[in-house]
A and B are shown apart, each in its own frame.
Chain A
Amino acid sequence: MKSIGIIDQIAIANMEAVGKMINSEPELVGVDTAVKCIPGFKSKMILHAGPPIEWQDMCGALKGAIIGAVLHEGWCENTSEAERLIESGEIDFEPCHNHSAVGPMAGVISPSMPVFVIKDKKDNRHAFTNFNEGLGKALRFGAFDREVMTKLEWMKSKLAPILKEVLNTIVSDKGGIALKPIIAQALQMGDECHNRNLAGTSLLLRELIPVLISIVDKDDAVECYSFINCNNHFFLNLVLAACKCMADAGHGVAYSTVVTAIARNGTNVGLRVSGVGDEWFTGPAPIPEGLYFPGFSKKDANPDMGDSTITETVGLGGAAMAASPSIVKFVGGNTQDALEMTKTYKLISILQHRHFTIPYMDFEGTPIGIDIRKVLRTGITPRANTGIAHKCPGVGQIGAGIVTLPIEPFEKALYEYVRKYEI
Chain B
Amino acid sequence: MKIPDRMVIVNVGARIFYDTAISQKADAVHVNWRPTIKLEKDLEAILRRIGG
Contact assessment for A378 and B37 in the assembled complex, using a CB-CB cutoff below 8 Å: yes
Distance to closest chain A CB from B47 (angstroms): 6
Indicate whether A189 reaches chain B with its CB closer than 8 angstroms: no
CA distance A372 to B39 in the complex (A): 14
Given known A-B contacts A377-B37, A379-B37, A371 and B49 have beta carbons under 8 A apart? no
The answer to whether A376 and B50 have CB atoms under 8 Å apart is no
Nearest B residue to A380 via CB reads B34
CB distance from A339 to the nearest CB of B (A): 11
Near A by CB (< 8 A), chain B positions 1-52 give: 15, 32, 34, 37, 39, 43, 46-47, 49-52
Known: A340-B32, A378-B37, A379-B37. A411 touches B50 (CB 8 A): no
Shortest distance from the beta carbon of B40 to any chain A beta carbon, whole Å: 8
Across-interface contacts of A11 in B (CB, < 8 A): 51
Interface size on A, residues (CB 8 A): 21
For the complex formed, measure the closest distance between the CB of A127 and the CB atoms of chain B, giving whole angstroms. 29
Residue numbers in A under 8 Å from B32 (CB-CB): 340, 343
- What number of A-B contacts does a CB cutoff of 8 Å give? 43
Mask for A380-423, Cβ within 8 A of B = 1, else 0? 00000000000000000000000000000001001101100001
B47 touches A373 (CB 8 A): yes
A414 in contact with B43 (CB, 8 Å): yes
Q: Which residues of B contact A418 (CB under 8 A)?
A: 46, 49-50
Bound together, the chains give a CA A91 to CA B47 distance in angstroms of 43
Residues of B within 8 A of A340 (CB): 15, 32
Q: Which of B37, B43, B49, B52 contacts A423 (CB 8 A)?
A: B49
Q: Would you call A373 and B37 a contact (CB within 8 A)?
A: no
Assess whether B50 is in contact with A377, with CB atoms less than 8 Å apart: no
- The reply to whether A411 and B47 form a contact with Cβ atoms under 8 Å apart is no
Cβ contact within 8 Å between A257 and B52:
yes
Question: Across the interface, do A377 and B49 meet the contact criterion of CB distance under 8 Å?
Answer: no
* A376→B49 contact, CB < 8 A: no
Of the listed residues B47, B49, B50, the one surrounded by the most CB atoms of chain A closer than 10 A to its CB is B50
Shortest distance from the beta carbon of A412 to any chain B beta carbon, whole Å: 11
Tell me if A6 and B49 are in contact (CB < 8 A): yes
Is B52 a contact partner of A373 (Cβ separation < 8 A)?
Answer: yes
A371 shortest CB reach to chain B, Å: 6
Q: Which residues of B does A touch, CB under 8 Å?
A: 15, 32, 34, 37, 39, 43, 46-47, 49-52
Q: List 22 A-B contacts (CB under 8 A).
A: A7-B51, A11-B51, A257-B50, A257-B52, A340-B15, A343-B32, A372-B52, A373-B47, A373-B52, A376-B39, A376-B47, A377-B37, A377-B39, A377-B52, A378-B37, A379-B37, A414-B43, A415-B46, A418-B49, A418-B50, A423-B49, A423-B50
Question: Which 7 residue pairs across A and B have the least CB separation, nearest first?
Answer: A373-B52, A379-B37, A7-B51, A377-B52, A418-B46, A374-B52, A6-B50
Tell me the A residues contacting B by CB distance below 8 Å.
6-7, 10-11, 257, 340, 343, 371-374, 376-379, 411, 414-415, 417-418, 423
Known: A340-B32, A372-B52, A423-B50. 20 other contacts (CB 8 A): A6-B49, A7-B51, A11-B51, A257-B52, A340-B15, A371-B52, A373-B50, A374-B52, A376-B39, A376-B43, A376-B47, A377-B47, A377-B52, A378-B37, A379-B34, A379-B37, A417-B50, A418-B49, A423-B46, A423-B49
